[in-house]
Homo-oligomer: A and B are copies of this chain.
Amino acid sequence: MEKQKLQIVKIGGNVINDEHVLNSFLKNFSTLKEPKILVHGGGKRASEISSAMGLVSKMVNGRRVTNAETLEVVTMVYAGLLNKNITAKLQQFNCNAMGLTGADANVIIAHKRDINDVDYGFVGDIDKINPEMISLLLENKITPVFCAITHNKKGQLLNTNADTIAAEIAIGMSKLFETEINYVFELQGVLKNIEDENSIIEKINLKKYKQLVDEGIIANGMLPKLQNCFNALENGVGKVKIGDASLINSTTTKYTTLSLK
């Protein structure tokens, strides 16, 4: 039997930080055919609230260290403020959204990242998702909305990268669905020339990806992002698209499609 399609959309700060952009995106997302899943990052609200509370973000190698106070702030902002406002907005647009962390119904289990050179604090690396529970929600026309918080099943919440959450959910759901991930970010896609925002590479397969890495065209921040995508493709995900917010249901806009072949 052919598997049903499942679209997993991940949005980051560039969509979340502007209320009008977010509203317009959510209205658009609500028109997508079910089943679908939304995953959102944090945006700058966490930093603003941290500052307002007099907390100082500790960064190591450009990454935020999640100490106990920071974990409290991201739990409040991601799982409370952002997740519930997004859920309420989607409900307004008649999308039956349900906001979730990994702790809710035990849908994402992670472990605290091992301390090697750096102690990142309460940061979670995902062990497994719970596809049966997520399927139960999808079968009942519920649209799960995941924020970037997981748990370790031992009572500890953990701050977890939203791109990775989207990839792991897609991988875990691939046994049951034909999965597609849409990564929405600030550009229209992967660029051939970083100075020219119209130089979108529309299709990248595994062979071309390796070639682009060798040529240094895929570098810096784009490298881990695409590694994450190809990891998903190699583990059962059917298709990955990267582009701006309009990619999720446009037939005319440009974006980058990643696939193995």
Contacts and interface: CB of A to CB of B under 8 A. Distances in A.
Given A52-B53, A136-B140, A103 B88 contact: yes
A149 B79 CA distance: 13
Given A80-B80, A99-B101, 11 more contacts: A49-B76, A76-B76, A78-B80, A79-B84, A84-B157, A87-B104, A92-B154, A92-B155, A97-B104, A98-B104, A99-B103
Given A77-B76, A101-B99, A140-B136, A88 B156 contact: yes
A62 interface: no
Interface in A119-173: 136, 140, 142, 149, 151, 153-157
Copies of this chain, complex-wide, total: 2
A175 B79 CA distance: 32
Give the interface size bracket for A toward B. 35 or more
A75 B79 contact: no
B77 A91 contact: no
Interface in A100-128: 100-101, 103-106
A223 interface: no
Nearest to A52: B53
